[in-house]
Amino acid sequence: MGNSKWECIWENRIGDPILIDDKTLLQMANDVRANAYCPYSKFPVGAALLCSDGTVFTGVNVENASYGLTMCAERVAIFKAVSEGHHDFVKLAVTCEGDHCQPCGACRQVIHEHAPDIEILMGNPQGTFVRTTIRDLLPEAFSL
């Protein structure tokens, strides 16, 4: 397993390298934004979660009239992955309009619980992004 600023190379279960670079992961997150259900905020968010075996799960925000039942894109991607038996997450890209898209507090806690060492790419449709980690975003997370 190796990595650089521009790409990450992971090996799948049979040892074949899988190349998913940051721009591709961000583009996947941005592309899926078109599927967001956001009639109240009009603020589509997309996420793409890279697993250690090279599998990518995407998610979008899904709003609800009661607001509290709204689900963020980051949690949708994580819950999809977990429901399919994946638990080894290495990178999460999240995109929305604006400077760069930051996970909310609830997402930060869920991300930390499932992947305390994950790298996060916070981007926008223009292709710019900020690289950080969940530990930097939530330095004193709840944990067991």
CATH fold of 21-137: Cytidine Deaminase; domain 2 (3.40.140)
Active site residues: 74
In sequence order, what are the beta bridge partners of 94? 47, 122
Q: For strand 56-60 and strand 89-95, is the pairing parallel, antiparallel, or unpaired? A: unpaired
The residue whose two tokens read 């592309």 is 31
pLDDT for the residue numbered 41: 97
- In the chain, where are the structural domains located? 21-137
pLDDT along the chain (144 residues), means of 10: 37 56 97 98 98 96 96 98 97 96 97 97 96 96 84
pLDDT of residue 5: 30
**C-alpha span between 103 and 9 (Å, rounded):** 25
